[in-house]
Amino acid sequence: MKADLHTHTTASDGRENPERLVDLALEKGLTSLAITDHDTLDGYQKAKPRADERGIHLITGIENTVLWRGKEVHLLAYFFDADHPEVLQFVARQKRARRLRMEKIVAKLQAQGLDITMDEVLAEAYKGNVGRPHAAAVLIQKRVVATIPEAFVRYLDQQKLQIQTEYASLEEAIHVFHRAGGVLSLAHPGRMFKVPELLDLLEHDFDAIECIHPSHPYHIQKRMKTLAMRFQKLLTGGSDFHKNDENGFHPFFGIVTLSEDHVSQLQARSFEWKSKASTMEGSRVDGTRPSPLASKVGKAGEVHRFPRPAGATASTR
């Protein structure tokens, strides 16, 4: 029994529709699947009827783009209530921030003399949540670049773009999804952060580290597992599937997986957060004032602090 907890569909920057991804997961022998489209729940919502029909465990999932020290961080969330009002408000705001970010990217590319329009990028997104891979696809069509990696290196790298974004803060995402019973995992940290940065990040109250990922060779996986033990985090993993070619991590779909034991641990953590949120809501009903920093006891008696709500602030990249 195996699970893939990191996949994408046409709801963001993937190339398979959500229903087809469910079918592919079953063909690969997966028993659990999380669709983690960027800053949208549309993929999960469209896939749910097919998953129920075909008998695969579809976990609520999303890959949030959030800001920490002015840097974009990808934060996976699982097992949360997809209808929770705070989650729906958060996701709607993230979608707006993503579109505004792309408008700024297109303007930057046009200022460099490139032939690209926002309408072309939106068309490439198949009405899904727009992202840099869609801009890269337009540049390929215009023969400005030959591949998506080339587009990112020459034009779409975050350090080259240096644009201000309006994504939520890391702290706010943690607060919102924990209140909705979500379990949060730092996505593919081995390719995004140097060790000192990662050590600082792991002090935050998210629940897990994505250890198993195609970009993590064995020595990186070992390092992530060691850090997970040190900071008492759970483990997640998945193929980061986008499409049926090598650039879309297709060769890893059904291979880069996680055992159902890890899925059970994540689900148990979700129950803890839901119980905590229920207790806090019950306190409000009783007329008592809940502490803004409620504590949660984790493994070995470690105390994690329920973070304060943090306003979404724009940061200069």
User: Is it the case that residue 291 has pLDDT exceeding 50?
Assistant: no
Backbone angle region of 50, left / alpha / beta, with phi > 0 → left and psi within -120 to 50 → alpha: alpha
Domains along the chain with CATH numbers: 2-92+166-305 (3.20.20.140), 93-165 (1.10.150.650)
**Residue 290 — very low, low, confident or very high, per pLDDT cuts 50/70/90?**
very low
DSSP E strand boundaries for 213-300 = 234-237, 258-259, 295-297
Between CA 15 and CA 243 the distance in angstroms is 5
With a pLDDT cut of 70, the percent of the chain lying above it is 86
In contact, 17 and 88? CB cutoff 8 Å:
no
The pTM for the full model equals 0.83
Between CA 317 and CA 300 the distance in angstroms is 38
85-127 residue pLDDT tens: 999 999 999 999 999 999 999 999 999 999 999 999 999 887 7
| Residue 105: burial class (beta carbons within 10 Å; 0-12, 13-18, 19+) | buried
- The larger pLDDT score, comparing residue 246 to residue 308, is at 246
- The larger pLDDT score, comparing residue 279 to residue 212, is at 212
Between CA 293 and CA 296 the distance in angstroms is 10
**Residue 38 — very low, low, confident or very high, per pLDDT cuts 50/70/90?**
very high
Taking the alpha carbons of 6, 63, 104, 125 in that order, is the dihedral positive or negative?
Answer: positive
What is the rounded average pLDDT of the residues 265-275?
96
